[in-house]
């Protein structure tokens, strides 16, 4: 059974989808903890599911590296990234760049979901950037996190056609409707050994 830690910063709808999937005993992964960098509303999903959650704020530490070390230790306390099985860390709406020490600790067992077709529109405003560029098509990418910003090997993508005149919020909501099942399916495939993270290649 794959042990999964999920990291969030916001509403946590992707976390909620993972928790719902993992509530099925037939699902091959368990969410063992949820971490956040802030008082994220999505932490309520962890509480409702009885999954331990913690907040580790970057501002409480002298450096991003130190924050990353404390975050890594909190995750490892729940059995992810220690022992014979590597487990999996899922960044699902964590709006922070994980520091290199953290990435080295967990990668390639460290994935992110991003609301664009990487390598297009990396960064914190992917949906806004796609609209500003006049993109006709955008989507979502689930990828392995490496030490760059949204540069790691792509695992799965899904595309969404941009509708004329739609707002950033409308487009993001339509992306998220595809993103949730794509992330759940990706975690399932990793848990079943159908997706080999170590063999995933950079885009
Ligand atoms: C998701 O669309 C995720 O891809 C995005 O934040 C949203 C979180 O939604 N992440 C990024 O933009 C990271 N650069 P959620 O809190 O409802 O899961």
Q: Assess whether pLDDT exceeds 80 at residue 61.
A: yes
Q: Using N-to-C axis directions, what is the helix angle for 13-22 and 168-191, rounded to 10°? A: 30
Q: Assess whether pLDDT exceeds 70 at residue 203.
A: no
Taking CA atoms only, the protein residue closest to ligand 1 atom 8 is: 93
Q: How far apart are CA 140 and CA 56, in angstroms?
A: 27
In this structure, are residues 89 and 81 in contact, taking their beta carbons and an 8 Å threshold?
yes
Model confidence at 82, pLDDT cuts 50, 70, 90, reads confident
Model confidence at 16, pLDDT cuts 50, 70, 90, reads very high
14 CB contacts (<8 Å, ≥6 apart)? 6, 8, 92, 93, 113, 176, 179, 180, 183
Distance in Å from the first CA to the final CA of the chain: 29
Catalytic residue among 45, 109, 114, 143: 114
User: Would you call 114 a catalytic residue per the annotation?
Assistant: yes
Strand 53-55: give its sheet, edge to edge: 53-55, 29-36, 2-8, 88-91, 110-114, 137-144, 154-161
pLDDT in tens, 101-122: 999 999 999 999 999 999 999 9
Q: Give percent of the chain with pLDDT exceeding 70.
A: 99
What does DSSP assign to residue 197?
G
Q: How far apart are CA 148 and CA 151, in angstroms?
A: 5
Q: Which of 94, 98, 113 has most ligand 1 atoms within 8 Å of CB, for mutation?
A: 113
State the average pLDDT over residues 84-92.
94
- List Cα–Cα distances, 46 to 53, 55, 119, 175, 187, in angstroms: 6, 12, 31, 23, 18
For residue 45, the model assigns a pLDDT of 98
For residue 83, the model assigns a pLDDT of 81
Model confidence at 60, pLDDT cuts 50, 70, 90, reads very high
Q: Where are the chain's structural domains?
A: 2-195
For residue 202, the model assigns a pLDDT of 65
6 DSSP β-pair partners: 34, 90
139 lines ligand 1 (CB under 6 A): no
Q: Give percent of the chain with pLDDT exceeding 90.
A: 93
Question: Could you tell me whether strands 88-91 and 2-8 are parallel, antiparallel, or unpaired per DSSP bridges?
Answer: parallel
Class of domain 2-195: alpha beta
For residue 137, the model assigns a pLDDT of 98
Q: Where does residue 38 rank: exposed (0-12), middle (13-18), buried (19+ CB within 10 A)?
A: middle
Name the average pLDDT for the chain: 96
């Amino acid at each position: 059974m794959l042990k999964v830690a999920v990291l969030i910063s916001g509403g946590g709808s992707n976390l909620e989808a993972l928790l719902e999937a993992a509530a099925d005993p037939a699902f091959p992964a368990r969410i063992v903890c949820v971490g956040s960098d802030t008082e994220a509303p999505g932490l309520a999903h962890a509480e409702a599911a009885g999954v331990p959650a913690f907040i580790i704020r970057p501002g409480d530490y002298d450096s991003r590296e130190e924050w990353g070390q404390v975050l890594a230790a909190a995750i490892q306390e729940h059995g992810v990234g220690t022992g014979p099985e590597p487990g999996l860390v899922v960044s699902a709406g964590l709006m922070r760049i994980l520091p290199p020490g953290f990435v080295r600790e967990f990668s390639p067992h460290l994935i992110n979901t991003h609301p664009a077709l990487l390598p297009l529109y990396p960064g914190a405003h992917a949906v806004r950037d796609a609209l500003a560029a006049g993109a006709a098509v955008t989507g979502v990418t689930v990828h392995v996190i490496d030490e760059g910003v949204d540069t790691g090997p792509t695992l799965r993508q899904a595309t969404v056609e941009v509708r004329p005149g739609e707002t950033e919020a409308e487009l993001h909501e339509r992306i998220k409707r595809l993103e949730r099942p794509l992330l759940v399916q990706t975690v399932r495939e990793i848990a079943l050994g159908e997706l080999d993270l170590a063999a995933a290649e950079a885009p």
